[in-house]
A = this chain, B = another copy of it.
Amino acid sequence: MASADQESSEPAGFDGARARMRLRVPSVAERVAEELRYQLAEGFLVPGAKLTEATIAEDLGVSRNTVREAFAELAGERLLIRQPNRGVYVATLEAGDIHDVYTVRRAIEVSSIRAGGSPERIAAVRAAVEEGKRAAAANDNEGLGSANQHFHGAIVALAESGRLDTIMAQVLAEMRLYFHKATMNAHFYSDWLTENEQICSALEAGELERAGDLLLAYLNRSEQQQTAIHGA
């Protein structure tokens, strides 16, 4: 995640020959981090749970030092929290954090969509919308969730900024961690499915201001909903 989109700031096909084809074999620490990220996203590790170095080292068959390195990486992404001399815990979003996260999303998503983007990038947004429709038709709740994330990720990708992409990826990971599948019932999905359609249409029509307004309204409402569900 944090490593896959490093190169995405390159204008596609600009100086193709020079591309860094560096055959990445992820290090052990990275694979441990990846495994933990997976378990976090999947809800196998719930917020607040304690992660003991020795235990995880043994479970994954790696050295404690390596686990430590993975912990440092995930702590940098705010997925884990390190309490000095006390251990690392799965991050928990407090009431204020919800607003905080949505503030970030408002900043980068609205800014990205207001600036428009290349036809290819816009097509990617459209693709995410269609992906959502297909998932809805198939009653695939899981697919609906990721389709929505792809949609918002594609919006940020309009800006062609690798840094914004990684920031967005981290924020989405944080939200996945806390708003796990259980809390995301089908009720929500029906709402934004048509809304994403509208936003995408406005974007395709070049009505960037309106697209931005729609997106902003969605984010505000979404924040309200999440705040209502979780702590006041």
Contacts and interface: CB of A to CB of B under 8 A. Distances in A.
A165 B10 CA distance: 26
Number of chain copies forming the complex: 2
A231 interface: no
B107 A111 contact: yes
A134 B99 CA distance: 36
A159 B104 CA distance: 9
Chain A interface: which size bin? 35 or more
Chain A contact surface mostly: helix
Contacts of A110: 111
Nearest to A30: B84
A100 B69 contact: no
Contact of A107 (B9, B77, B108, B160): B108
A89 to B, nearest CB: 14
A197 interface: no
